[in-house]
């Protein structure tokens, strides 16, 4: 398949093909996929297929630049979460697990998901398509589409929205290849299966791991398998709520993912949900302001740069720092996964600030005992599963 260009417009020609001459494992139903679109689609499809296999529930992910912004299973959403994700008006959402999964994946980090590529583990239905219709998105890959969903999606982007139908039975070759600087690399495909059996080596004093926490750890770990390393993911309520990707230092991964998790918690607060936006203000502008509003210092001067008459029917209240800390302190049952071992206990200290209760990591550091001691100090449950998940 000839592509418009590679990663950048100057990288021509560009194409994708199967070296064995067989058909590609997906069919283009609409649009013209680009190089990065296909990288996002093929990584995202693997991610959601593995989450469904591990949890038994429909899954979705929102990808940007070859890393997931979030991933989720189709757990029914609370009324507050629906409001925070701008899907409280979607009719039939609770009856569509795949639509709920995507609403969660898109809503967890709406700033990063802007212009995403979507992957679904199950058939895209009309309810899911109705959510996608009004979001800025480049394309979607799924095993199938209902006629109603396909009709809705084909209207996006003036008829150019990329729609890919994947062959769910396709199994890639055991050896994969890539080229860098004209040099060919090959390696065994990372076919490690992350499942409940990987979550049995609990090394902390607290060993109380319930089913919901286990699912959160599975979702976070599988997400990391397809996230540019180094990477750390926070998860809660059946979805990833913060991804720290592509950082050279693990503590910076943890800080980045933790900041996104804090943002997720605060977006559901009354202070944010009740911001007096004018009715005509779109979701993208609301997202942009909400992100900045949460990050503001608690001074009157911090609000002075905004022209409130453009966005609001009334001047918003300042979100005081102590209010934010109090809200975050009430969070519960948050899980954290790392794609390799934690070299120092400072990662756990930062995780605790975001109320992490459950941790999974590879283990194997010379300071494992320090990391375990830090978890015990906070009464966390930590698993060392011996699985490194670097993805480059």
User: Residues 69-97: pLDDT tens digits?
Assistant: 999 999 999 999 999 999 999 999 999 99
Domain membership flag for residue 35: yes
Structural contact between residues 229 and 339, judged by C-beta atoms closer than 8 angstroms: yes
Task: Mark whether 195 is an active-site residue.
Answer: no
Whether residue 210 is found in the same domain as residue 147: no
What is the per-residue pLDDT for 311?
A: 86
Catalytic member of 64, 165, 260, 391:
64
Catalytic member of 158, 322, 330, 392:
392
Whether residue 159 is found in the same domain as residue 254: no
Domain membership flag for residue 273: no
Structural contact between residues 227 and 65, judged by C-beta atoms closer than 8 angstroms: no
Domain membership flag for residue 308: no
Whether residue 118 is found in the same domain as residue 199: no
Collapsed DSSP state (helix, strand, coil) of residue 94: helix
C-alpha distances in Å from residue 255, one per residue of 2, 26, 232, 246, 290: 40, 37, 9, 13, 20
Domain boundary among 145, 171, 197: 171
CB neighbour list of residue 166: distance below 8 Å, 6 or more residues apart: 25, 26, 41, 45, 141, 142, 143
Whether residue 101 is found in the same domain as residue 248: no
Domain containing residue 193: CATH number? 3.40.140.20
Whether residue 65 is found in the same domain as residue 130: yes
Q: Mean pLDDT for each consecutive 10-residue tract of the chain (392 residues)? A: 94 94 96 96 98 97 96 97 96 97 97 96 98 97 98 97 98 94 96 96 97 97 97 98 96 97 97 93 91 77 65 86 95 96 95 97 94 97 97 94
Q: Are strands 162-166 and 137-142 parallel, antiparallel or unpaired?
A: parallel
Whether residue 48 is found in the same domain as residue 76: yes
The answer to whether the pTM exceeds 0.85 is yes
Domain around 12 = 2-171
Rounded-to-integer distance, Cα 110 and Cα 102, Å: 12
Domain membership flag for residue 344: yes
Whether residue 235 is found in the same domain as residue 135: no
Task: Mark whether 65 is an active-site residue.
Answer: yes
Catalytic member of 216, 230, 263, 385:
230
What is the per-residue pLDDT for 298?
A: 64
C-alpha distances in Å from residue 206, one per residue of 255, 268, 357, 373: 24, 29, 10, 11
Q: How many helices (H) and strands (E) does the chain have?
A: 14, 15
Whether residue 198 is found in the same domain as residue 110: no
Whether residue 61 is found in the same domain as residue 155: yes
Whether residue 133 is found in the same domain as residue 208: no
Whether residue 188 is found in the same domain as residue 159: no
Total structural domains within the chain? 2
State whether the Cα torsion 53-55-44-137 is positive or negative.
positive
Domain membership flag for residue 285: no
What is the per-residue pLDDT for 310?
A: 82
Domain membership flag for residue 158: yes
Q: Are strands 116-120 and 137-142 parallel, antiparallel or unpaired?
A: parallel
Tens digit of each residue's pLDDT (9 = 90 or more) over 13-55: 999 999 989 999 999 999 999 999 999 999 999 999 999 999 9
Domain membership flag for residue 177: no
Domain boundary among 141, 171, 201: 171
Task: Mark whether 392 is an active-site residue.
Answer: yes
DSSP state of 76: P
Domain boundary among 119, 150, 171: 171
Rounded-to-integer distance, Cα 327 and Cα 84, Å: 15
Task: Mark whether 95 is an active-site residue.
Answer: no
Whether residue 162 is found in the same domain as residue 188: no
Q: Are strands 231-236 and 334-338 parallel, antiparallel or unpaired?
A: antiparallel
Domain membership flag for residue 317: no
Catalytic member of 53, 65, 157, 252:
65
């Amino acid at each position: 398949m000839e592509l418009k260009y590679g990663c950048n417009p100057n990288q021509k020609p560009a194409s994708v093909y199967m070296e064995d001459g067989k058909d590609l494992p997906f069919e283009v139903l609409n649009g013209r996929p680009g190089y990065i679109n296909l990288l996002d689609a093929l990584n995202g499809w693997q991610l959601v297929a593995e989450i469904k296999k591990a949890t038994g529930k429909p899954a979705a992910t929102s990808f940007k630049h070859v890393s997931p912004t979030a991933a989720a299973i189709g757990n029914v959403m609370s009324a507050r979460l629906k409001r925070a994700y701008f899907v409280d008006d979607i009719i039939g959402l609770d009856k569509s697990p795949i639509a709920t999964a995507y609403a969660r994946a898109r809503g967890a980090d709406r700033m990063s998901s802007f212009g995403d590529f979507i992957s679904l583990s199950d058939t895209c239905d009309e309810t899911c398509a109705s959510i996608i219709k009004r979001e800025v998105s480049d394309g979607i890959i799924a095993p199938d589409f209902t006629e109603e969903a396909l009709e809705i999606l084909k209207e996006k982007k003036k008829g150019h929205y990329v729609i890919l139908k994947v062959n769910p039975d396709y199994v890639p070759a055991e050896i994969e290849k890539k080229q860098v600087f004209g040099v060919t690399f090959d390696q065994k495909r990372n076919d490690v299966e992350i499942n409940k059996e990987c979550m049995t080596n609990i090394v902390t004093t607290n060993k109380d791991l319930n089913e919901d926490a286990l699912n959160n750890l599975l979702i976070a770990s599988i997400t990391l398998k397809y996230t540019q390393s180094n990477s750390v993911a926070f998860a809660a309520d059946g979805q990833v709520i913060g991804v720290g990707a592509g950082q050279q230092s693990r503590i910076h991964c943890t800080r980045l993912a933790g900041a996104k998790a804090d943002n997720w918690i605060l977006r559901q607060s009354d202070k944010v949900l009740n911001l007096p936006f004018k009715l005509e203000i779109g979701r993208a502008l609301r997202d942009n302001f909400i992100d900045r509003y949460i990050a503001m210092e608690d001074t009157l001067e911090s609000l002075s740069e905004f022209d409130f008459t453009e966005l609001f029917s009334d001047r918003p209240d300042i979100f005081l720092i102590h209010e934010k800390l109090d809200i975050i302190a009430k969070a519960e049952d948050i899980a954290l996964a790392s794609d390799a071992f934690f070299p120092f206990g400072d990662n756990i200290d930062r995780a605790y600030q975001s109320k992490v209760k459950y941790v999974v990591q590879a283990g194997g550091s010379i300071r494992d005992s320090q990391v375990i001691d830090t978890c015990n100090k906070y009464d966390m449950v930590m698993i060392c599963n011996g699985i490194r998940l670097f993805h480059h």
